[in-house]
Structure formats: structure tokens, C-alpha cells
Amino acid sequence: MNHSAYTSVLGLSCGVIVLCAVVVLWRRSLRAIVRALAVQGMALALVALTLGLHGHDDGLVVVAVLVLVAKGAVVPTLITRIVRHDVASRETQPLVNVPASLVAAGVLIFLAFAASRSITALASSASGRLIPYGMAAMLIGFFALATRRKAVSQIVGLLLVDNGIALVAFLATAGVPLIVELGASLDVLLIVVVLQVLATQMRLRLGSVDLDQLAELHD
């Protein structure tokens, strides 16, 4: 793979990762949010694959395949199953409305780039300069986690944070050891399964998966 193709594929996939994070704040339909998450997982796998092929690192290629399966397919499918049972599958009233969230996302993107200036100044490689994208995805994930009300959009926010951390790890260290990556991926998978159990229970008891309904104690 020649160098200019390598940098442009890497830059494009990092851009797609941040774009998907923005789409999570942008769209109200939970299905669209989960689709954005799936696309983000695939883009993350592409980053790992590109880095692996460029650095002739077979371990990273294996990680790329694992990321593709776990974050691009399995986790989104599990979340889609929760969404499908939910009648009103829309994020109707986020704590911060959509235009304000998007402006906040813009600010967070700037913040990510400003905060990681000292890191990028040290980085000599093309991949090191893309670290702010991972930071941006992470911050937007935190924002989604804090301001969205549905259980599904909150878990998506958490997964955005996870993807952001994974992207920073790939770009900064050209891949964490396989066992660490596996552990993190299993963790996330576990969280999604727990969420699914929680959502099923909530739907049985309360008829919806709006987390605000858990704020009060009932007999």
C-alpha cells in the first residue's frame, strides 16, 4: 500500500468515526443511531486493518477482524433487538435539544483538537496526528451519555466512548496487545447483554425503557 493511499484511507476512516458520533446526536430515531454505531465499528476495523497492513503486523489484522465482528455486527445487532421491541423507538426529549447538542459537538471537537495539541506536536507519523479524532469521538460519547434519556442511546454513548478510546489506542501505539483488546471487547459485549436484560425487565414492569422513570422509588 503506498503512502498517500495509506494516509487518505486512515484520514477518511477517522473522519467517518467522528461523523458517526455526530450522527448519534443528530438523529432522533434509535434505529438510525444504532446504524451509525455499526458504521463506526466498521470504520474502526478499517483503521486497524490499514495500520496492520501498513506496518506488516499480523496481530493487528486479527484484531481488525475481531473489531469488525464485535463492534460492526454483534453489538449493533443486539442493540437493534432491544430497539425492535420498544414501541416508541425515538429519542423524543433529550435533556439538551438537538441543535444545541450539535453546537456542543462542534465545541467538543475543537476542545479535542486543542487538548491534544501537545500529543500531536510530538507525533511524527501520519497516524499520530489523527489522535484528536479519537478524543473527539470520546467526548461526544460522554456528551450523549450525559444528555440522552433512553437506555439505548445511553449505551450507544458508552460505546462511542469505547470506540474513541480504541481509536486513540490504535493510532498512538499501533495496537494494544491482542489480549487487552479482547478483554475490552468482551467487557463491552457484557455491558450490552446486561442492558438487554435490564431493558426487558423495565419493559415488563414499566412498559418503556425511559430511564427517567427509574428516578422515583415505587412500592
The Cα–Cα gap between 164 and 124 comes to 21
Site for other proteins contains 93 (CB under 8 A): no
Toward other proteins, which CB reaches closer, 121 or 178? 121
Site for other proteins contains 122 (CB under 8 A): no
How many residues contact other proteins, by CB under 8 A? 24
Residue 8 CA to chain centroid, in angstroms?
21
- Smallest separation (angstroms) from other proteins to the CB of 97: 8
Toward other proteins, which CB reaches closer, 4 or 124? 4
- Smallest separation (angstroms) from other proteins to the CB of 23: 8
The runs of H, that is alpha helices, within the chain are 3-26, 30-54, 58-67, 75-85, 98-115, 117-122, 131-147, 151-173, 178-206
* Other CB atoms within 10 Å distance of the CB of residue 40: 30
Q: CA dist 99 to 15, 50, 147, 168, Å?
A: 21, 35, 13, 28
- Residue 142 has φ and ψ, to the nearest 5°, of -60, -40
Q: Indicate the DSSP class of residue 95.
A: S
Q: What is the CA radius of gyration of the chain?
A: 18
Residue 120: name the closest of 81, 175, 172, 73 by CA: 172
Toward other proteins, which CB reaches closer, 14 or 202? 14
Site for other proteins contains 15 (CB under 8 A): yes
- Binding track, positions 26-65, relative to other proteins; x by CB under 8 A: x---------------------------------------
Q: Indicate the DSSP class of residue 190.
A: H
Sign of CA dihedral 13, 186, 112, 20: positive
Site for other proteins contains 12 (CB under 8 A): yes
Site for other proteins contains 121 (CB under 8 A): no
Site for other proteins contains 109 (CB under 8 A): yes
Site for other proteins contains 102 (CB under 8 A): yes
Q: Which stretch binds other proteins (CB under 8 A): 34-42, 68-76, 99-107, 171-179?
A: 99-107
Task: Choose which of 56, 58, 87, 99 interacts with other proteins (CB under 8 A).
Answer: 99
Q: Rule CB under 8 A: which residues touch other proteins?
A: 4, 8, 11-12, 14-15, 18-19, 22, 26, 98-99, 102-103, 105-106, 109-110, 113, 120, 129-130, 132-133
